[in-house]
Amino acid sequence: MSVVSSVCCYCGTGCGVLIEADAGVVTGVAGDPAHPANRGRLCTKGATLHLAAAAASGRARHPEFRRDRTSVRARAGWADALDHIAEKFRSVVAEHGPDAVAFYVSGQLTTEAYYVFNKLARGLVGTNNIDTNSRLCMSSAVAGYKATLGVDAPPGCYDDIEAAGTLFIAGSNTAYAHPILFRRIEAARRARPDLKLVVVDPRRTDTAAEADLHLAILPGTDVALFHAMLNVMLWEDRVDRAYIDAHTEGWTALRDLVRDYTPEKAAAICGVPAADIVTAARWFARGPTLSLYCQGLNQSTCGVDKNAALINLHLATAQIGKPGAAPLSLTGQPNAMGGREVGGMANLFSAHRELDNPEHRAEVARLWGVDALPGQPGKTAIEMFDAVRRGEIRALWIACTNPAQSLPDQARVREALAAAELVVLQDAYADTETAGFADVLLPAAAWGETDGTMTNSERRIARVRAAVPPPGEARADWEIVTDFARRLDPERGVRLFPYACAEDVFDEHRETTRGRDLDITGLSYARLDAGPQHWPFAEGAVEGRVRLYADGVYPTGSGRARFHAAPYRPVAEAIDARFPLHLNTGRLRDAWHGMSRTGRVARLFAHADAPRLAMHPRDLALRRLASGELVRVKSRRGEVVVEVEASEAVRPGQCFLPMHWGARFMSGLGANALTLPAFDAVSKQPELKHAAVQVARA
């Protein structure tokens, strides 16, 4: 038996795991006591990773493709499958230009796989049409950091949990979505009962139930709440004027804006008592305050404003750059951070460079050894699938994600997939909703079968390791892309993609970070073998920087952090007489994304064995419904039939549907049959967290 240390492939907590393997099969998993993120603990999902890994059903084992849509996919060799894609790509690019090709990748790829996909799209094909399911997850957090602090860098760390005086959790059911971090919060509160916990969430989640103060705001009203808290801080002289004067800019505009957001006015908007807003403001300002936030802020048409309004509070009270005080976005996926670091999103560029900066493009072109890189922004997730539907994008390569379940407004997404000339799916599983649309299926290695690195929510890079070989002919993601690049353009492909192993890719990525805010030139696989490290970790450093901005200097050009003054805006789709209920979507404790992995572990259905719509008993009574009945949930875009359950965790007028079950598991196309594709104008992140719906007996 062998034991290999790696990282859990589910949430962005980034827990270290020890994978036990025997005769090429994963036989067990344990928490890695040496890993600082989890110190040996695992949640129910992490503790069953070996069961998901050992489940043979549904795995993609051999390449398959079809030459036209009237055929079925047939098994093929790697050379034939990749040459077929290369021929199609060349023909599409020759006829319609490089922007007729697009790549839709995943925050579950290793950083190395992300890096080669990014280089393939921009450096070889010549398009910025590379986006990722992280668009659905963290793009508002990225834009929020950049708007206020200058770069996409979470300033805090997990150790701030124990150092904080107040934990302010907004839009995150941490107990379910990041369970090991929540265990750490519970332990910190047991050790220090004076550690306050404030939770902002429309639902009384398990996280909210633990709070000293739960602000059950109406959906989408976070900005009004945060502005009102700043209003209180101003009235009670709880802001840090010396810090504001020395380290920030834009204060006057924000101060003038929040004067209108009295606690009473915000109470009316948010549906919470004004006195609770005052209490939250006092606890926040007293500090040290660590904010933890996730999709409730991000998946919104004003997601950037929400992120920035929360960061405003940290800047105004100097709750940043010191132990226990920071805004810290919780990453939904295990490596959304790594993808951001390599610039694997349509509007980002390598190592936090800017796509619209000619000097930055020239730097990357020089590093990669290409003449020039495309300057026009690529299509982001929703725009990309709309462009496929319109026929502007003709060839789409999807990797390690399941857009036929996870994107909003599924009817539109499925029209797009059906309209594409070529859909390539590179995935470990052959039975996802998206696989049904694939013309080419490329079998990829899964967790425990591949080497690389990932970065967790606190900027900590860790090694991911293979414990067993992938099944059948499946290959590592970076390896598939490298092979394809060499076939697409034999001369340039071989030169630009010279990699023999994941470490070669890491070493090249590392060099692109030299001199950047996320400089990791001091890291290597050998260094990471000694333990995960925070970035930045520049050459010559003995350790990474655990907390950023301790000196009050920000990477904004002026050196000052920027306050962001934007008024509250309501959700994109208002409720009305026909669609009178607010629908909220989200995670359950023991399921992950579309359940391509967790859906194979029977034990993980003990917590919730089926999707259920949670509704307040009053709303059930109004409709003469009882728990356990089937209901039809309709929005302006689609409908699902699902069991309903009474729940006092949701307020009257609201309902909640878990996101995990798709068309394979329920009547209809899952929660995203109902959600809308409206997105934030800056981050382009869709408002997956809210839709107006009606509910009636099925």
Bridge-based pairing of strands 639-646 and 667-668 is: antiparallel
- For residues 419 and 422, what is the distance between their CA atoms, to the nearest angstrom? 9
Q: Which is nearer to ligand SF4, 146 or 178 (CB)?
A: 178
Give the C-alpha distances (Å, rounded to integers) separating 692 from 306, 331, 572, 688: 21, 27, 9, 12
Task: State the nearest-atom distance from the C-beta of 264 to ligand SF4, in Å.
Answer: 39
Instruction: Print the binding letters for residues 12-41 with ligand SF4: x by CB under 6 A, - otherwise.
Output: -xxx----------------------x---
With contacts defined by CB under 6 A, name the span among 120-128, 173-181, 247-255, 385-393 that binds ligand SF4. 173-181
- Encoding tokens for residue 425? 């799916």
> Listing from the earlier edge strand, what are the strands of the sheet with 2-7?
2-7, 16-22, 25-31
Q: Which is nearer to ligand SF4, 72 or 606 (CB)?
A: 606
Site for ligand SF4 in 177-196 (CB under 6 A): 178-180
45 makes contact with ligand SF4 (CB under 6 A): yes
- Encoding tokens for residue 277? 């807003």
413 makes contact with ligand SF4 (CB under 6 A): no
8 makes contact with ligand SF4 (CB under 6 A): yes
Residue nearest to ligand SF4 (CB): 46
337 makes contact with ligand SF4 (CB under 6 A): no
What is the DSSP code (8-state) at residue 330? P
3-state secondary structure of 211: coil
Among candidate residues 175, 24, 22, 106, the one with its CA nearest the CA of residue 596 = 106
Q: Which is nearer to ligand SF4, 48 or 405 (CB)?
A: 48
Among candidate residues 62, 46, 58, 51, the one with its CA nearest the CA of residue 27 = 51
**Binds ligand SF4 (CB under 6 A): choice among 19, 26, 43, 387:** 43
Task: State the nearest-atom distance from the C-beta of 183 to ligand SF4, in Å.
Answer: 8
Task: State the nearest-atom distance from the C-beta of 525 to ligand SF4, in Å.
Answer: 21
**Binds ligand SF4 (CB under 6 A): choice among 5, 32, 46, 107:** 46
Q: Which is nearer to ligand SF4, 179 or 327 (CB)?
A: 179
**Binds ligand SF4 (CB under 6 A): choice among 11, 345, 466, 485:** 11
40: left (phi over 0), alpha (psi -120 to 50) or beta: left
For ligand SF4 (CB under 6 A), the number of binding residues is: 14
Helices (H), 402-501: 403-406, 410-419, 477-488, 490-496
Give the C-alpha distances (Å, rounded to integers) separating 77 from 120, 292, 437, 487: 22, 47, 20, 14
Q: Which is nearer to ligand SF4, 52 or 325 (CB)?
A: 52
Task: State the nearest-atom distance from the C-beta of 533 to ligand SF4, in Å.
Answer: 18
Q: Which is nearer to ligand SF4, 73 or 183 (CB)?
A: 183
333 makes contact with ligand SF4 (CB under 6 A): no
What is the DSSP code (8-state) at residue 217? P
Q: Which is nearer to ligand SF4, 293 or 437 (CB)?
A: 293
Task: Tell me the longest C-alpha to C-alpha distance in the chain.
Answer: 71
Task: State the nearest-atom distance from the C-beta of 670 to ligand SF4, in Å.
Answer: 21
Cβ neighbours for 583, distance < 8 A, ≥ 6 positions apart:
633, 635, 654, 655, 656, 657, 674, 675, 690, 691, 692, 693
**Binds ligand SF4 (CB under 6 A): choice among 18, 21, 42, 673:** 42
Site of interaction with ligand SF4 (CB under 6 A): 8, 10-11, 13-15, 38, 42-43, 45-46, 178-180
